[in-house]
């Protein structure tokens, strides 16, 4: 095993600037690292990360301290029957008819409204004018909450993500997360109580009415899940839209192929998830000792799984550092299911509930953006500006185009 003094330090500014060369070094020579400041083992190889996601011995008890203080108890921490019942309560709202019939029009409307803000301007920032707002607006609208409160939700989700990503345990960030929990509860609980008496066609009503094997969610459960959705569905899809367009703009031939054949959008999204995932690391806590690279990791340890590294493991993907939507080692038909080749939605029982919603959002956004911007290109001043260590994506994406008359 390698210690942090010998391996790349994932808390360093150099790592934040360019995690990918550090990933390569870890994949080659340091597949298991002990990081003293984080008090965590770090694994990077595809096989080790996939195993940690799939094998039940790797619990998600780490969310007891990573997320519960800010959300309350949610599905990501649960296991066994408690998890499968909770999953059955929430999952139907994010797939099939519910998604296609009820929420597709909501997604289309929210994309259109944001694009209307810049479609005749000839220039835009696809992150600050679009991606940062789109998924959060969609969730607020799906839940049937007041669209005038979108700015509040934006602030809350930024605070929740900062809490989750607080690898260096900054006390101000932690205090702000706790404040958000109190504010969100004060806002949501009366709305949930009112909605129970006035069920409608929205996601919040579906959650209030859902029942599996005699179990329903109480007000606190629903408030905690809404809080989780803001972070899980907002930040991630924001980064996914930004990175998909950044990758395509960096590869104009692939952008032209997608523009000409829109059925390639899911391929471009799947390859973006592999090449530049929105979530770069996820933690696990083994219930019993596990062995990785010949070293025994004690029960109860924190294991940080580097998704961003595993997705570029040359043992799994050919030319892993090239963005190639036509690669033949990442099938698109499984990329949004628990049989995915990339690890960006995790695998196993906590596989992302919102994967199909995210795919639909990226498809709608990409189609509408490409239609509105026929000669879309990066603006001259668009530098390489990926930001973030826990979650990562372009901080801005200035583009120019000729408006459609
Ligand atoms: C590209 C976009 C997205 C990415 C990369 C992503 C990533 C992930 C990952 C890595 C996990 C597993 C966490 C773990 O096992 O510790 C997860 C779980 C989850 N995601 Fe997503 N997510 C995305 C979009 C969404 C959306 C749009 C929603 C819903 C609005 C959502 C809701 C959830 C929920 C509720 C879970 C917990 C599932 C469980 O514990 O059983 N995600 N997501």
- Mean pLDDT of residues grouped by 10 in the chain (405 residues)? 73 93 95 93 98 97 93 96 95 88 94 97 97 94 92 89 83 92 96 97 95 94 95 92 97 98 98 98 97 95 98 98 98 96 97 96 98 94 84 95 91
Which pLDDT does position 220 carry in this prediction?
Answer: 96
Q: For residue 279, how far is its CA from the centre of ligand 1 (angstroms)?
A: 9
CA angle, residues 238, 243, 249, in degrees to nearest 5: 135
Which pLDDT does position 161 carry in this prediction?
Answer: 86
- What is the Cα–Cα distance from 59 to 231, expressed in whole angstroms? 21
Q: Which atom of ligand 1 is nearest to the CA of 142?
A: 30
φ, ψ of residue 198 to 5 degrees: the values are -135, 65
User: Token digits for 3?
Assistant: 């210690």
Q: Which CATH class is domain 2-400?
A: mainly alpha
Residue ranges of the domains in the chain?
Answer: 2-400
The pTM is what? 0.96
Which pLDDT does position 11 carry in this prediction?
Answer: 87
Residues lining ligand 1, Cβ inside 6 A: 60, 75-76, 87, 139, 228-229, 232-233, 236-237, 240, 278-279, 282, 344-346, 350, 352-354, 357-358
Q: For residue 352, how far is its CA from the centre of ligand 1 (angstroms)?
A: 4
Q: For residue 227, how far is its CA from the centre of ligand 1 (angstroms)?
A: 13
Q: Which atom of ligand 1 is nearest to the CA of 307?
A: 10
The three-class DSSP label of residue 391 is strand
Which pLDDT does position 357 carry in this prediction?
Answer: 96
Q: Which atom of ligand 1 is nearest to the CA of 343?
A: 10
Smallest CA-to-CA distance from 71 within 221, 173, 207 is with: 221
User: Token digits for 180?
Assistant: 């958000």
């Amino acid at each position: 095993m390698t210690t942090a003094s010998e391996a790349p330090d994932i808390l360093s500014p150099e790592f934040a600037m360019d995690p990918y060369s550090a990933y390569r070094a870890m994949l080659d020579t340091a597949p298991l690292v002990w990081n003293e400041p984080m008090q965590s083992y770090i694994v990077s190889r595809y096989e080790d990360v996939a195993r940690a996601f799939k094998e039940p011995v790797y619990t998600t008890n780490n969310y007891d301290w990573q997320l519960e203080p800010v959300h309350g108890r949610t599905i990501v921490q649960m296991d066994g029957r408690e998890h499968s019942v909770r999953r059955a309560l929430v999952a139907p709202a994010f797939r099939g008819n519910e998604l296609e019939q009820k929420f597709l029009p909501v997604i289309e409307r929210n994309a259109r409204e944001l694009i209307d803000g810049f479609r005749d301007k000839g220039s835009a920032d696809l992150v600050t004018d679009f991606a940062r707002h789109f998924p959060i607006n969609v969730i607020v609208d799906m839940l049937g909450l007041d669209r005038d409160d979108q700015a509040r939700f934006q602030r809350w989700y930024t605070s929740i993500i900062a809490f989750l990503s607080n690898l260096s345990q900054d006390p101000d960030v932690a205090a702000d997360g706790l404040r958000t929990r109190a504010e969100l509860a004060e806002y949501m609980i009366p709305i949930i109580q009112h909605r129970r008496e006035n069920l409608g066609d929205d996601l919040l009503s579906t959650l209030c009415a859902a029942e599996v094997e005699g179990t329903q969610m109480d007000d606190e459960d629903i408030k905690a899940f809404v809080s989780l959705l803001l972070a899980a569905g907002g930040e991630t899809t924001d980064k996914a839209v930004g990175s998909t367009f950044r990758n395509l703009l960096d590869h104009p031939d692939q952008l032209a192929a997608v523009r000409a054949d829109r059925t390639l959008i899911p391929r471009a999204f799947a390859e973006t998830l592999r090449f530049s995932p929105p979530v770069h690391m996820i933690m696990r806590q083994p219930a019993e000792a596990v062995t990785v690279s010949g070293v025994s990791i004690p029960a109860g340890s924190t294991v940080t799984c580097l998704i961003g590294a595993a997705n570029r493991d040359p043992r799994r993907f050919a030319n892993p550092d090239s963005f190639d939507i036509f690669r033949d080692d990442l099938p698109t038909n499984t990329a949004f299911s628990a049989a995915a080749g990339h690890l960006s939605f995790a695998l196993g029982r906590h596989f992302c509930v919102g994967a199909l919603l995210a795919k639909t959002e990226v498809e709608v956004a990409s189609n509408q953006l490409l239609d509105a911007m026929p000669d879309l290109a990066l603006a001259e001043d668009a530098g390489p500006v990926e930001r973030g260590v826990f979650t990562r994506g372009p901080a801005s994406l200035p583009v120019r185009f000729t408006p459609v008359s």
